[in-house]
Structure 1
Amino acid sequence: MHTRVHEFSWPDRVVVGTIGLPGERTFYLQVRAGKQLVSIAMEKQQSAQLAEKIDEILDQLITVQGNPFSVPTGTPPELVDNDPLEAVQEQFRTGTMSLGWDPTTAQVVIEAYPITDDEFDSDDDDNDESFDEDGTKGSEMLLVRMPVGTARAFAMRTREIVGAGRPTCPLCGYPVDADGHICTLPEV
């Protein structure tokens, strides 16, 4: 089986953004280099964990004596990207992801793979499988390499996007929908 790799070694833009209203948002990891643009759907929790783990890697690298990779402690203001997502055409829905560090290029590396058949309900009739030219099922993956400053800005924006959802009820801790909330307080 052939694997189509959407590879971005020095992307012009890499962000997490959403489409939809809080409570009904779809999260996307979107990467652009020149005219090449790829958007993959993610879960909110995947987005939050990705930002957390990127910051952990960067914070660990700062502790290396002399900070040889010039990892910024905060987000460089010139790398802040608050623009909305560009035209979204979902490439695939993310299943497994991996995160790494390439010391030869001083880049954080993200790999994302589509949900496999055994990761979702097989009764789903809306099956967006891709097929190779010979009719066999093909797979794909996203490979993104981003420099440390871009990675720090990516993590900050992602945390902000994740946190911009529905407000939390101060009494029960559950999300409050725009159309109301029935608070179920624990018995005392």
Structure 2
Amino acid sequence: MPPVVHSFDPPDRFVAGTVGEPGARTFFVQARSGERLVSVALEKQQVAILAEQTGELLDKLVQAGDTRTLVPALAPADLVDNGPLDNPIEEEFRAGTITLSWDPDAERVVIEVFAITAVEADPGELDPTGEAAEPEPEEMLVVRLTPGQARAFCARSETVVDAGREQCPFCGGPMDPGGHLCPRANGFKRTAP
């Protein structure tokens, strides 16, 4: 059965956001075109890495200078989006693998987010190289962004990731409102200033 593909080319809005209090937040990427809305849950690290890698891809395109479309060095002011996630926030699926690429013909950043798939060990299913065959994803999100939209996504994502709990000044770990057991303090509890 072919996977369900949620495709946006380009979306009206593509943002990262969270639901919940720092320390217990659920991260989402959300794509919207008109009334169609797709929300995909992912890990904080996935958002951080996607934003970082997208920024690096855009920086390489700026340095190469061989695109017909302007690739902005910063998020264009008219594309900055600090609004909350759109409601209703209903998780379509949880993200597993995420791919990032550049489509030189359409001059779009392409982000593909694949649903986590359950892997069942079946030694009889091997691909031509003799490795275990990858299961086909059941669902995926494909977003094709203009360079300006991609730069705005990076800026917002970095803000969302950094908006979590305060970091301990000694070990760098996250501190809950009541403090945390700091490994650099030999197990003594440190509290937020």
TM-score tier, shorter chain, comes to 0.7 to 0.9
Residue in structure 2 matched with residue 6 of structure 1 by the alignment: 6
Residue in structure 1 matched with residue 159 of structure 2 by the alignment: 160
TM-score, scaled relative to structure 1? 0.86
Residue in structure 2 matched with residue 110 of structure 1 by the alignment: 111
Matches within 5 A, 1:1-188: 1-65=1-65, 68-87=68-87, 88-118=89-119, 139-185=138-184
Distance 1:4 1:56, change over 3 A: same
| More displaced 10-residue stretch of structure 1: 175-184 or 142-151 | 175-184
Residues of 2 paired with 1:65 and 1:178: CA distance? 47
TM-score, scaled relative to structure 2? 0.83
Contact 1:11 1:32 in 2 (8 A): yes
3-state DSSP of counterpart to 1:118: coil
Q: CA offsets, 1:7-39, max 9 Å, x none?
A: 000100000000001110000000000111000
Residue in structure 1 matched with residue 190 of structure 2 by the alignment: none
Structure 2 residue ranges without an equivalent (≥5): 121-136, 187-193
Q: CA deviation at 1:64?
A: 1.9
Q: CA offsets, 1:96-115, max 9 Å, x none?
A: 11001111111100001111
Q: CA offsets, 1:78-107, max 9 Å, x none?
A: 100000001101000000110011111111
Residues of 1 paired with 2:78 and 2:65: CA distance? 26
Residues of 2 paired with 1:47 and 1:66: CA distance? 28
What is the Cα-based RMSD across aligned positions, in Å?
1.8
How many residues are aligned here?
170
Q: CA deviation at 1:66?
A: 5.8
Residues of 2 paired with 1:101 and 1:21: CA distance? 35
Fraction of identical pairs, as percent: 50
Q: Counterpart amino acid of 1:3? A: P
Residues of 1 paired with 2:36 and 2:65: CA distance? 38
Residues of 1 paired with 2:50 and 2:170: CA distance? 29
Q: CA deviation at 1:173?
A: 1.4
Residues of 1 paired with 2:65 and 2:145: CA distance? 22
Structure 1 residue ranges without an equivalent (≥5): 120-137
